[in-house]
Structure 1
Amino acid sequence: MYKHLYRRFIEANPTLLHFACHSHHYWADISREAQLQYWDDSAKHVDDKWNHIFSVKVPQAQRLIAEILNISHPQQLVFAPNTHEIVFRLLSSLDWNQKIRVLTTDSEFYSFDRQINRLSELPQFEVVKIPTLPFDTFHERFEQAMESADWNLIFVSHVFFNSGLVCDVERLVKDAPSECPFVIDGYHSFMAVPLNLKPIQDRVFYVAGSYKYAQGGEGCCFLYVPPATRHRPMYTGWFAELSKLSAIGNEVGYPTDAFQYAGSTMDFSAMYRLIATLEKFKDEGLTITRIHEVVQQSQKWFLEEVEKSGHPLVNRQTLIATDLKNHGHFLTFDLPSTEVTTDLVKKMKTRGLLTDSRGSRLRFGFGLYHDLADIKAAVAKI
């Protein structure tokens, strides 16, 4: 139904069944025009390019994202080239001269997990990870952990990258200590699983980006900062002083909006691509709710075909899911071992079916460029 949005990627890979769109999503055709527009704007504005970007393009991106997340304060969105930069800037706003206690899960993406693992080697960092499985008791266990100690940072994903399970973040925020920064990693849910941030917009930080379901490609990530936040991150860049560059001295000042978390020079072509893609989706009537419905239908077809196939490894028994009506846009199957999973991924790739895995977990992603014929062909190649 929506293959026309991805004609260039599909034509470039005519024999490939791409079911890794939770990891490396096809880009919409419109993003190529946006990439060229960035070059043309750079040629047109030259030294005034930054003024054009920060007065026109950044507010445009802020408005589009705020509309999707139902945020009342678009100016509370700040951008960076990747989520790791954002994560470390958040961590650098804490007082490293004191004990730092971080509460998180065992299923956070590498941009946070690797960094927090490294920091946990320092004596002042204490990191507690709550297992997401068994998921039917996860929220209760996480709530108990929040109440068990004083925390300096709470970090949890909306959709867990290694399972597709959806966290009830609004429930957790409601019970979280008010003085502790609460960060939601929305990278595996933004433009996929609906989330209304308005009820908790004064309480949470939210980080996501354009690489996966926003379909704008790598290079444009963003952080939503609660309006009352007044932080002074140690990891800071010159974008945070854009409003007073001509009067900079030795004092390190910070804006009162989201740009207190700003970094430095980045390639804004990714923002152009993101804006173009989100605007195209609006023109097509592709709200997150509609996208979610399309993907849920594809997942339903896939599981029906899998059941018919009688595959010994990829089946309902190995599927990690509790509620397919409230699930991420990929299906995860927990196989006997990492070796078995890796071997199956390689075999499927030789047959023209691209997917991926994390440890023993095999992941199939679904996008707007899949139809029933694609799904039947994919299952036949497993």
Structure 2
Amino acid sequence: MQEFDALAQALQPHYSHFNVTNRLLFTGHSHQAWPDVAFAGIQEYMRVVTDRVDTKWDIGFEKTEILRNYLRDYYDDPNGLYCREQNTHVLLVSWLSSLDLKNKPKIITSSGEFHSMKRQLNRLSEEGLNVVNVSHNDDQQFLDGIKNEIDNSTSAVMISRVYFETAEINTKLSEIAQVCRQSGVPLMIDDYHGTNVVPLSIRDEKMEDCFVLIGGYKYLQWGEANCFLRFPKDCEFRPAVTGWFAAFETLDKPQSGGPVEFDDGDQRFATATYDPISQFRAAEVVNFFKTQGLTPDRLRQQYQSQVEYLTALFDEENFDGSGIKRSHSRPPEETAGFLSLTSPHARVLRSNLLAKGIFTDARDQILRIGPAPYTTSNQCESVIKALFDEIRNL
């Protein structure tokens, strides 16, 4: 029995709808199970809609504020503003539309960004944007590369705190933020794989002027449509892509024909009408995490212990000629919430495992095995055994 089993076993009964006790769910880095209280949140929404009809929005906004406060606490960020949207791509596009890309057409990014950011930047590069991809394989070289690339034509630096393919943590983030600050260049950080896995104090790291993309679909267990853009309190960006929810508080003002106005507060990068059922669901999950004592430090210890154990099991089972290896050799403190493996058969292995009801994930030649706080050591042992059974059958 491993140290993380006590918490995992205590949590499992609260995920009965997903039957986490009897299933091998190892896409925690992509989609975690929702606790049973999430379903109560969905039922609450239906009651509110039938009772309040079009006056439901005030309660929906209250639920969103619960999510914002959770993030402010997690990031030790009492003064940060958090704009809610359906997905991080919507927020990314709104933010990009704030930049002076005509006069400063350079965007600096890394070679390891998630598809949402990478695809959008690649498409914009086809339209003339100068997108510079700096190799992220070594953190110091990555920092030096950004320093060398920043110039007067740079609109922004856009990078991740945790690389989505390998779970490697960018250990030079605060230094990169300082470089951007000194150059007057905004820094956008994709933290989809950092939130609820690797604690970050925005105050201590002096990153109050940074922008952070946050998604609720994975480690937060909030499900879809609960994404946020964290931005500085004094931000004056005026996105060109904008919807009427970015000026919700001033809807009753007469339209003067002057410059488009934006509300003070959290919704500067918002679009328009959405379905608030997701916030009802997620607010219940927030309360559940609090009652279970799932603090940032406790979650970090759980994930680190689980990934260390998965790594040890993999190393013990691996053999010469297996054709599979760990994607990196960083120490546990520089690794986030999943085990990343490299194999030319990654997608075949993932498919074969899924045929047996075992959920993993593959991206090109990378197989990702992601636990969740409710994952036990027995389940870790079972997934590694099943993986090597499939490898031997190739």
Structure 2 Cα separation of the partners of residues 314 and 71 of structure 1: 45
What is the SS of the residue equivalent to 1:222? strand
* 1:126 Cα deviation from its structure 2 partner: 0.6
Q: Unaligned 5+ residue runs, structure 2?
A: 1-8, 388-394
Match of 1:138? 142
Is the contact made by 1:19 and 1:354 (CA closer than 8 Å) also made in structure 2?
Answer: yes
* 1:134 Cα deviation from its structure 2 partner: 4.0
* 1:303 Cα deviation from its structure 2 partner: 2.1
Match of 2:282? 274
Sort the Cα spacing of 1:277 and 1:245 in 2 relative to 1 into closer, same or farther, 3 A. same
Sort the Cα spacing of 1:58 and 1:302 in 2 relative to 1 into closer, same or farther, 3 A. closer
Is the contact made by 1:239 and 1:265 (CA closer than 8 Å) also made in structure 2?
Answer: yes
Structure 1 Cα separation of the partners of residues 310 and 64 of structure 2: 39
Sort the Cα spacing of 1:310 and 1:111 in 2 relative to 1 into closer, same or farther, 3 A. closer
Query: Deviations for 1:195-240, whole angstroms, at most 9, x for unmatched residues?
Result: 1112434310111121000001111101111111111101101111
Alpha-carbon RMSD: 2.0
Structure 1 Cα separation of the partners of residues 146 and 283 of structure 2: 36
What is the SS of the residue equivalent to 1:261? coil
Moved more, 218-227 or 288-297: 288-297
Q: Which amino acid aligns with 2:98?
A: S
> Under a length normalisation based on structure 2, what TM-score does the superposition of the two structures give?
0.89
* 1:89 Cα deviation from its structure 2 partner: 0.3
Sort the Cα spacing of 1:71 and 1:135 in 2 relative to 1 into closer, same or farther, 3 A. closer
Sort the Cα spacing of 1:161 and 1:327 in 2 relative to 1 into closer, same or farther, 3 A. same
* Percentage of matched positions with identical amino acids: 25
Give 1:64's match in structure 2, choosing from 70, 77, 84.
70
Match of 1:174? 178
Give 2:155's match in structure 1, choosing from 142, 152, 157.
152
The aligned runs of 1:1-382 (5 Å cut-off) are 1=9, 2-10=11-19, 14=22, 16-54=23-61, 56-73=62-79, 76-123=81-128, 125-135=129-139, 137-146=141-150, 150-168=153-171, 169-178=173-182, 179-199=184-204, 200-249=206-255, 250-251=257-258, 252-311=260-319, 312-313=321-322, 317-335=325-343, 337=344, 340-382=345-387
Structure 2 Cα separation of the partners of residues 257 and 193 of structure 1: 27
Is the contact made by 1:28 and 1:216 (CA closer than 8 Å) also made in structure 2?
Answer: no
* 1:135 Cα deviation from its structure 2 partner: 4.8
Alignment length, in residue pairs?
Answer: 372
Structure 2 Cα separation of the partners of residues 380 and 225 of structure 1: 44
* 1:313 Cα deviation from its structure 2 partner: 3.9
Is the contact made by 1:299 and 1:331 (CA closer than 8 Å) also made in structure 2?
Answer: yes
Structure 2 Cα separation of the partners of residues 122 and 180 of structure 1: 22
Sort the Cα spacing of 1:41 and 1:26 in 2 relative to 1 into closer, same or farther, 3 A. same
Q: Which amino acid aligns with 2:146?
A: F
Query: Deviations for 1:272-321, whole angstroms, at most 9, x for unmatched residues?
Result: 22221122111111112111211221122222222332345476x53324
What is the SS of the residue equivalent to 1:78? strand
> Under a length normalisation based on structure 1, what TM-score does the superposition of the two structures give?
0.91
Query: Deviations for 1:154-186, whole angstroms, at most 9, x for unmatched residues?
Result: 111111101101013222102224421111111
Sort the Cα spacing of 1:232 and 1:329 in 2 relative to 1 into closer, same or farther, 3 A. same
* 1:139 Cα deviation from its structure 2 partner: 3.1
Q: Which amino acid aligns with 1:245?
A: L
Runs of 4+ in 1 over 6 A off after TM superposition: none
Is the contact made by 1:64 and 1:275 (CA closer than 8 Å) also made in structure 2?
Answer: no
Is the contact made by 1:321 and 1:327 (CA closer than 8 Å) also made in structure 2?
Answer: no
Is the contact made by 2:180 and 2:186 (CA closer than 8 Å) also made in structure 1?
Answer: no
Structure 1 Cα separation of the partners of residues 153 and 91 of structure 2: 23
Structure 2 Cα separation of the partners of residues 63 and 300 of structure 1: 31
What is the SS of the residue equivalent to 1:381? helix
Q: Which amino acid aligns with 1:117?
A: N
* 1:368 Cα deviation from its structure 2 partner: 1.3
Match of 2:4? none
Match of 2:3? none
Sort the Cα spacing of 1:192 and 1:369 in 2 relative to 1 into closer, same or farther, 3 A. same
* 1:99 Cα deviation from its structure 2 partner: 3.7
Sort the Cα spacing of 1:207 and 1:262 in 2 relative to 1 into closer, same or farther, 3 A. same
Is the contact made by 2:26 and 2:371 (CA closer than 8 Å) also made in structure 1?
Answer: yes
